[in-house]
Structure 1
């Protein structure tokens, strides 16, 4: 039987994806409006209905940065409680590389710009990072964590890939 929250809704964690895209010693980061302030994040967002996790990571990167990417590996999944939403989040992070860039693409609502930063520059952003998960995913990538993409697979016949 599904668990319900105190207000009677069915409990369900928020499922998000993130892309760690590196070029040399720099990582693709987005500057975005979040809770009335500028915050910094990987290209990241929510899983849409009928969408695979991998497709969501590619889509979010495109929509938020104008970069077409190909995924190379699965980095990991983190379970976290969001102070922004007060909900439990499951964040799936993928590593990839840039295929092309369209600087004329209008970026998602709330995204100010995409930029390339070194790990030390990202860490120096401190509480301006949207979540602590940003550095966790980058550090896992820097530590060499690269799991096969099929570590995370979809059995949904209608899934968009």
Structure 2
């Protein structure tokens, strides 16, 4: 069973303030790309915990997920080496907390930006994936699933 297919589980934070969205600009193998604060689920954490952690690590802003916007799946084949990856993204919206000025951002993050929807649409060719705009569009359409629809069994937290 070593050839069993496993998608890469990621989380994303949809953070809006005054009609602008918190976006990161990051260095990737394909050059500078724009993305919502996002990253991989780590062992021992729930999806909402992963989302809050990734938002803080990538933006220096505290974020509290309050609803699931959607679950998204996309396939990406790296041009450099042909690696074939399927991402399973859980996107959350929520409450923006305090910023930690001076907090170092994750490696590869160049800066954070507050962008309008028009600016995001105009820069779609620079998005990390097509899921960036899709998640924001769903958020703006009012899609919200209650956070209690995302369950984490206690066994997840028993990581050695």
TM-score in terms of structure 1 length: 0.90
Cα deviation, residue 103, structure 1: 2.1
Return the alpha-carbon distance in structure 2 between the equivalents of residues 76 and 56 of structure 1: 15
Q: CA RMSD in A?
A: 1.5
Aligned position for 1:70: 64
Aligned position for 2:138: 140
Aligned position for 2:35: 41
Q: Deviations over 1:115-158 (max 9, x none)?
A: 11011101111221000000010000000001101111101334
Aligned position for 2:123: 125
Aligned position for 1:83: 77
Aligned position for 2:110: 112
Return the alpha-carbon distance in structure 2 between the equivalents of residues 70 and 117 of structure 1: 20
Cα deviation, residue 36, structure 1: 4.7
Aligned position for 2:22: 28
Cα deviation, residue 56, structure 1: 0.5
| SS of alignment partner, residue 87 of structure 1 | strand
Q: Deviations over 1:10-42 (max 9, x none)?
A: 321100000000002100100000115100000
Aligned position for 2:94: 96
Return the alpha-carbon distance in structure 1 between the equivalents of residues 156 and 47 of structure 2: 13
Gaps spanning 5+ residues in structure 2: where? none
Gaps spanning 5+ residues in structure 1: where? 5-9
The count of residues paired between Structure 1 and Structure 2 equals 154
Aligned position for 1:15: 9
CA contact (8 A) 1:50 1:156 kept: no
| SS of alignment partner, residue 125 of structure 2 | helix
Structure 1's consecutive aligned runs of 4 or more residues displaced over 4 angstroms after TM superposition are none
Q: Which of 129, 148, 151 is the equivalent residue of 2:149?
A: 151
